[in-house]
Structure 1
Amino acid sequence: MIRTKYKAVVIGGSAGSFSVVSKLLSQLREDFPLPVIICLHRLKHVRSGLVESIRLKSKLDVIEPNDKEPITSGKVYLAPSNYHMFIEYDGTFSLSTEEPVNHSRPAIDHTLSSAAYVYRNKLIGIVLTGANKDGAKGMKDIAEKKGITIIQDPKTCEMDTMPKSVARLIEPDMILSPDEIADYLNHLS
């Protein structure tokens, strides 16, 4: 098993990110030791299909967490449709139906920001392709807590607004293609 100082990976994405997440999860090692927490903009009235499709590509177990569900290493957690997903200090998820943020529920900023406050410098934050600025504030919070910040190389994005919004707010630690992101995660030590 990989030994690493990090405690979690948190990923946000929107337009075009489903294929990137699927590819990334298909490339992650079976013994990847960290929880992978994913918040994607989703259609609020479509409750099934996405997690099942991602599950087909992933070597790791993929689930939509319930409220107060404990976060476990080596699992992939996908924010449920139409719920904000927060990470709590006690190592559990908190789901909320508060108003949309950046026209979205789940809001990537909520997930990234709450992860930043819990995991601090032991967090890896990644923002993928997307068509709005959701995720930029969350990545700023990760940077301020000394976590690692990675954006998808805008040249590889279907929609480059999200990673460019992050880059306007902070200087990300890395700008990587999807293959390079998978390679980086697989070689954590």
Structure 2
Amino acid sequence: MKNHIKCIVIGGSAGSFTVMMEILQNLPKDFSLPILICMHRMKHGKEGFANALNLKSNLNLVEPYDKEKIKKNSVFLAPANYHMCVEMDKTISLSTEEDYNYSRPAIDLLFKSASYVYKKHLLGIILSGANHDGAIGLKCVKDCGGMTIIQSISESQVPTMPKSAKKKTQIDFELNTRQITEFLIQIHKTKQIQLVS
């Protein structure tokens, strides 16, 4: 069964920064699908984190404003100390509600909200990290008909998050950094992916 992907959500924590940087560095400049990224970071770390990713990225990476429209050819990074969610009108909402999974921003909240909006047209990816945030969110992606990927447990610097996601739901693919990048490029080229049975 083939599926048409319209949005990509990526979550990561400890050990995921260099992975995320490598992915963004190797995606083509005309990569059209919107990417929403939630990475655990220092609550008071502002522009430096985003700037560091932007330096290596071929794509335009921004920390969005509340109610900003999700657009193609854009990468949206959850701002420090804000939860980032997707609204039904495909805008981004930011909030300072209490920590979720000991985190703000929380990966689960982004993935769950995006799942309800994009359903089978969503691709969710969990990278290296030290807690369980993202496991329930990735299950929600799967339950809503979307595609799920975890970073290879053997490659992950801190494999707790990929392991937790794998225990929580049926993962479609377990890929290393290079394979994740190639997978995204293939989706960009074909606009479709082949779902495993």
Same fold (TM over 0.5): yes
Partner of 2:195: none
1:31 maps to 2:25: no
CA positional deviation for 1:31: 1.2
Distance in 1, matches of 2:88 and 2:20, equals 26
- Where in structure 1 are there 5+ consecutive unaligned residues? none
Distance in 2, matches of 1:55 and 1:46, equals 15
Distance in 1, matches of 2:93 and 2:47, equals 20
CA positional deviation for 1:168: 0.4
Partner of 2:133: 134
Distance in 2, matches of 1:126 and 1:179, equals 14
Q: Secondary structure at the match of 1:10?
A: strand
Q: Secondary structure at the match of 1:154?
A: coil
Partner of 1:122: 121
Alignment of 1:78-97 (within 5 A): 78-97=77-96
CA positional deviation for 1:141: 0.4
Q: Secondary structure at the match of 2:116?
A: helix
Distance in 1, matches of 2:108 and 2:135, equals 7
Residues 59-107 of structure 1 show CA distances to partners (whole Å, capped at 9, x for unaligned) of: 1100000000000011110000000000001010000101001110000
Distance in 2, matches of 1:46 and 1:127, equals 22
Percentage of identical aligned residues: 48
Distance in 1, matches of 2:62 and 2:45, equals 16
Partner of 1:173: 172
The 4+ residue runs of structure 1 with deviation greater than 6 A are none
Which TM-score applies when normalising by structure 1?
0.97
User: Structure 1 counterpart of 2:74, which letter?
Assistant: K
Distance in 1, matches of 2:80 and 2:160, equals 22
Distance in 2, matches of 1:99 and 1:92, equals 21
Task: Give the stretch that moved more between structures: 44-53 or 118-127.
Answer: 44-53
Q: Secondary structure at the match of 2:154?
A: helix
- Where in structure 2 are there 5+ consecutive unaligned residues? 191-197
Distance in 1, matches of 2:173 and 2:123, equals 11
Distance in 1, matches of 2:75 and 2:156, equals 22
Partner of 1:145: 144
User: Structure 2 counterpart of 1:19, which letter?
Assistant: T
Partner of 1:49: 48
Q: Secondary structure at the match of 1:187?
A: helix
CA positional deviation for 1:25: 0.4
Distance in 2, matches of 1:29 and 1:89, equals 28
Distance in 2, matches of 1:47 and 1:187, equals 33
| CA root-mean-square deviation | 0.8
User: Structure 1 counterpart of 2:67, which letter?
Assistant: K
Residues 88-137 of structure 1 show CA distances to partners (whole Å, capped at 9, x for unaligned) of: 01010000101001110000000011011100000000000000000000
Which TM-score applies when normalising by structure 2?
0.93
Residues 141-189 of structure 1 show CA distances to partners (whole Å, capped at 9, x for unaligned) of: 0000110000000111110000000000112000000100000000111
